[in-house]
Amino acid sequence: MDTAEIRRRFTDHFERNGHTLVPSASLLLDDPNLLFVNAGMVPFKPYFLGQETAPYARATSVQKCVRTLDIEEVGKTTRHGTFFQMCGNFSFGDYFKEGAIRLAWELITGPVDSGGLGFDPELIWVTVLPSDDEARELWHTVAGLPYERIQDRGLEDNYWNMGVPGPGGPCSEIYVDRGPEFGPDGGPNADEDRFLEIWNLVFMQEELSAVRSKADFDVAGPLPARNIDTGLGLERVAYLLQGKQNMYEIDEVFPVIERAAELTGRAYGADAGDDVRFRVVADHVRSALMLIGDGVTPGNEGRGYVLRRLLRRAVRSMRLLGHEERALPELLPVSLAKMKLGYPQLEADFERISRVAYAEEDAFRKTLAAGTQIFDVAAGEVKQTGETTLSGAKAFALHDTYGFPIDLTLEMAAEQGLAVDEQGFRSLMAEQRARAKADAKSKKGQHADTSVYRGVLDANGPTQWLAYETLETESAPVALLSGGARVEALREGEVGELVLDRTPFYAESGGQAADAGWIEFDGGRLEVVDVQRPVKGLVVHRVRVAEGELALGAAGAGALQARVDPQWRIGARQAHSGTHVVHAALREVLGPTALQSGSYNRPGYLRLDFGWTQSLSPDQLRDVEQVANQALRADLPVAWQYMTLPEARDWGALALFGETYDESQVRVVEIGGRWSRELCGGTHVDHSSQIGTVVVTGESSVGSGNRRIEAFTGVEGFAYLARERDVVAELTGLLKTQPDDLVGRVGDLVDRLRSTERELDRLRVAQLLAAAGSVADAASDVGGVAVVAHRVDGAGGSDVRTLALDVRNRLASDRPGVVVVVGVADGKVAVVAAVNEAGQARGLKAGDLVKTLGPILGGRGGGKADVAQGGGSDVARVDEALAAVPAAVAGVAGG
């Protein structure tokens, strides 16, 4: 049974039993605790936490997931994968333990010809929390399981919570016996390789007030409504039903291994070490495909770093398997061919996905080349000291700073007869992971405490939001808050939060800044400084009391006038519509794969992030600006309408990566019909000409594979152009030329300046060399060695090197000679040592001399025996350093 069929059977089973099918959310959700969605229940967290009311009593989904803690284990076990799919069924205050157990049992043991998965009931084992007698009895009575196949497990295994205060409850895990060839008998408590967990049923029934660890928490009491959350691992079920040994051999993954084997000429199954690498390749290529598909681009931190690591581990593994050519163009399309069956949007977006992935592989190949050079230097330094082990610190620096994998460091060290302090490297890696874990832990609990807002919403209903219809409303205060708690009044000068029964203010969302304005009442005035939606349906105004005192229940507070600043709203509408116009212009100039990955706009200003692997040329920027302004001149109509999410996709509307949309109703904004269609909840102009102008001011990188374009609109755009005009006018006045001739005139001045600088450099070098003769004549004799130790003020590194070499050449060639020149310029010290052949024959080395002077000057340096250079920062000790030269020479040559 292939994976797609298992997925279909799961959702069909639960739809037949009254569940609403919810499509997989993006792997990226706005959650401070998560880099990626890592469990099937994550998109439903607002319902479980009570932040929102679930729109259905029962739901089912097959959710894309990524877990990053197991990256190092990928390929080594049968069940660790970075990307996986979690099948789940959820009940929000509807059925509970009996329903969950019955529905799970019917699916896993139901006959294949009746839509079930067909597992032999005699091979099923389950675990329960020791105190959960109810679940134990239900498994016995509903499923008919004998008590000996219902095993107890403690809180660590069979109790679920989020790691923060909130819902929790016991869980029950379902296992399949794979047979005696996989391990000893005795159920999951005896061996988890033989008895493989496929499904976890979570019974949310308690409210936790404190969570100190998975097994240490405080229970405040029962939940108001008991919920069900289950998760079945699709890949695990697939490899059991397909008769495979592990998840890497299922139909969605193994074709990548087959192609990798063809490319490398090595057979899968012939060598244990190679098999791990093949599995790493297959898992990471699939994971990267899914991550890029959801808008992640490679970078040096967060989600981008995870993707970069996955891609580089895949490329590195192919290299260790013997394939040193580009690998991803051969492997990524193979993964696409299988994954598009479940996620057809991948095929439509593959041009963008592949461009991001291939660019990262090319960058890594350059890193490998540069890292090899850095490794050679490090290895050379180790050999010079007579050591045979590369330190863990150097191996870690190669890995952490340059992205050079430890496996390659080990391989190349062995080729040069060196060992690597792996223990030291692992220790530093563990410290880094501990810091990352501590950082992640410090962010735990950042689920905003929305209980006070939820209480306001439950008591008063949703805010009547009129931002699309009007700039002014007569409103009544519903609640006042300060410091996260409800208060009865806000006094003059205080800052707090105000909830109104109705409001014209736009709450920050979709990249658009919140409206500004005023709320007035009898005897007072509030300045609106921010507007947010902490829970769905509730609009909260952050206000500063400019005049008077606002008290709930006071006569003067009965009617408030809420007024949006009209100029602010005009600018905001221009900027938001301008963002859509720039996005459409980018796609027209660069192609359909230039998709927005984020945006921000405020009155008169916009920035738009989009997936692209290289900087835009000046011509491309001008083209984008020109296309945008042509759209403004065409006075394109701007319209919006509501439809279901599937309808919007069929209509060609673009959705922002990582955003979660209501399936039943989305707002589609179009400019010029099909030219620009996007899902958007922002405020917009009625015709494109009302944007005024679009002035592109810059384009920059915001991470590998992601660019940012910035622009001004409306009055702010014209003001920017006016400033540019003023600059041109001032320059033409200073240079006494016409605007059309300005560029040529400035170019001439730059050429003359460069020519003058070159002449000055030539004169300075000539002056230095003119003094070389007298410097050489002043050489002292140290044990038969001619020694020059000379200071030059105002000379940098290249000048110092030129002088040192010239002085050395002027010394007698048949007599040992040493030249050390120290230059001082701009508070920095440059040191160059030069030793002639006769001096080298006496054992004198330029590199050793520089290393001797480095600590005195507060710096370091090194080089070869004939020439070496270094630097420092302690100008006050230059003379002391020069005085040390004769002693250093004497220590080697005698005298």
Binding site as annotated, residues: 576, 580, 680, 684
Looking at residue 535, what DSSP letter applies?
Answer: S
The answer to whether domain 451-564 has CATH 1.20.120.420 is no
pLDDT score recorded for residue 52: 81
CB-based contact 604:716 (threshold 8 Å): yes
Rounded CA separation 604/574 (Å): 7
Q: From 404, 400, 401, 403, select the one nearest 413 (Cα to Cα).
A: 404
The answer to whether domain 569-722 has CATH 3.30.980.10 is yes
Residue 313, CA distances (Å) to 71, 307, 317 in order: 10, 10, 6
Rounded CA separation 612/871 (Å): 40
Rounded CA separation 335/871 (Å): 52
Q: Give the number of other Cβ atoms within 10 Å of residue 41's Cβ.
A: 23
Half-sphere exposure of residue 258: CA atoms within 13 angstroms, side-chain side: 9
Q: Which fold has domain 3-244?
A: BirA Bifunctional Protein; domain 2 (3.30.930)
Torsion, Cα 406 409 415 418, to 10 degrees, reads: -100
Looking at 229-271, list the stretches that DSSP marks H as alpha helix, in order from N- to C-terminal side: 234-241, 254-264
Reduced to 3 states (helix: H, G, I; strand: E, B; else coil), residue 193 is coil
Listed by start position, the domains of the chain span: 3-244, 254-440, 451-564, 569-722, 771-893
**Residue found by looking up tokens 């300060």 in the block:** 482
Cα dihedral 266, 269, 272, 276 sign:
positive
Looking at residue 509, what DSSP letter applies?
Answer: B
Binned average pLDDT, 10 residues per bin, the chain of 895 residues: 94 96 87 80 86 89 87 72 93 95 96 94 96 96 95 93 87 95 93 93 93 89 92 94 91 96 94 92 95 86 85 90 93 96 91 91 83 80 84 83 72 81 86 64 50 86 94 94 90 93 94 94 92 92 93 72 96 96 95 87 94 89 96 96 88 75 83 93 95 94 83 94 91 89 90 88 73 86 90 82 89 90 88 92 90 86 87 88 90 76
Apex CA 882: angle with CA 877 and CA 886, to 5°?
Answer: 140
Rounded CA separation 88/241 (Å): 18
The answer to whether domain 771-893 has CATH 3.10.310.40 is yes
As beta bridge partners, residue 228 has 91, 203
Reduced to 3 states (helix: H, G, I; strand: E, B; else coil), residue 389 is strand
User: CB neighbours of 197 closer than 8 A, spacing ≥ 6?
Assistant: 173, 174, 175, 188, 233, 236
pLDDT score recorded for residue 444: 43
Q: What is the pTM of this model?
A: 0.69
39 φ, ψ (degrees, to nearest 5): -160, 155
Binding site as annotated, residues for Zn(2+): 576, 580, 680, 684
The tokens of 392 are what? Answer: 């863990």
pLDDT score recorded for residue 760: 82
CB-based contact 394:378 (threshold 8 Å): yes
Rounded CA Rg of the chain: 35
